[in-house]
Amino acid sequence: MRESIHKYFRVGTIQWMSYPQRDPIESLKEICKDDFFDAIEVKGYGGRNEEAKKLLEQSHLKVCYGAQPRLLGPKLNPNDLDEKQRKKAEDTLIQAVDEAEYLGALGIAFLAGKWQEETKEQAYIQLLKTTRAVCDYAAGKNMTVELEVFDFDMDKAALIGPAPYAARFAADMRSSHSNFGLLVDLSHFPTTYETSRFVIRTLRPYITHFHFGNAVVKKGCDGYGDLHPRFGYPNSANDTKELLDYLRVLKEEGFFDPEHPFVLSMEVTLRPGEEEEIVLANTKRVLNRAWALLED
């Protein structure tokens, strides 16, 4: 493409993935100083939220809030069949809405919990209950709620899940809540045995946010699962070719919107012995190359 990617997308990064080793305020400053980025995805800063808020206000970055760590860390499940446990997940997501609002984000993203085949439909009903409650709360603040689509049998083993099941869930949610959307990630397509074209076309009406990255899906290989290694990692599934295909499908399906650009964030992190700045530069290079190869 001859035109800049920044015309069509707010290019972002997920702070806690890009800088897993650095002090969070120091790495926040690095991202705020880097004009390659138009957006940042954060997870909250605990007792340092006020300090982070001031930096974010100065930066002119679009702030997005990822509530996934709030669920994954304490192993909370928004589709838990135990109502008391489900409510714990709902409560932390509602707290996430408040924290996101304070930090300047206009919504939150989260993921479904684990499930079992014999109770899949009951879990689906529980997830609807949680998501509707969180969407109700967020709507009162004019904020959005996004569900990220994950693998269903490889690593996270989340209920949502393969694209057709995600489409069913999103349709159910949109029937009552217009502030709900789906977040899709190129890293997850190999883990759900799907292609960019299939996922994007299946979920087209519901997608509100994009991630891109890499995965290793060959069993027995280092980095196997949902670990988001750098592009070019041994035995991995995605590189420039796959990112180019992803961008091509987004263009075909009408997601290049200069008036209201979607967030397109890199979700790439370190393997042992790697350096944050080098892996981040790697990701930028792959994105720049894929964009340069995309046809006008």
| Distance from C-alpha of 115 to C-alpha of 79, rounded to nearest angstrom | 8
Whole-structure pTM value: 0.97
Fold held by 5-293: TIM Barrel (3.20.20)
Q: Counting beta carbons within 10 angstroms of the beta carbon of residue 161, is it exposed (0 to 12), middle (13 to 18) or buried (19 or more)?
A: buried
Looking at residues 93-102, what average pLDDT do you find?
Answer: 98
Q: What is the DSSP letter of 193?
A: T
Cα 153 to Cα 141, 188, 193, 226, 251: the distances in Å are 35, 12, 10, 11, 30
Q: Could you tell me the pLDDT band of residue 65, with boundaries at 50, 70 and 90? A: very high
CB within 8 Å of 130: residues ≥ 6 apart: 78, 79, 86, 89, 90, 93
Q: What is the DSSP letter of 96?
A: H
| Distance from C-alpha of 226 to C-alpha of 217, rounded to nearest angstrom | 8
| Distance from C-alpha of 100 to C-alpha of 92, rounded to nearest angstrom | 12
Contact 127, 78 (CB under 8 A): yes
pLDDT for 224 equals: 97
Q: Strand 107-111 and strand 62-66: pairing? A: parallel
3-state helix, strand, coil in the chain (%, to 5): 50, 15, 35
DSSP SS3 for 179: coil
CB within 8 Å of 173: residues ≥ 6 apart: 128, 131, 132, 135, 147, 180
Strand partners, 224: 216
Query: Could you report the per-residue pLDDT of 9-42, keeping only the tens digit for each?
Result: 999 999 999 999 999 999 999 999 999 999 999 9
pLDDT for 226 equals: 96
Say how many residues make up the chain: 296
Query: Could you report the per-residue pLDDT of 132-166, keeping only the tens digit for each?
Result: 999 999 999 999 999 999 999 999 999 999 999 99
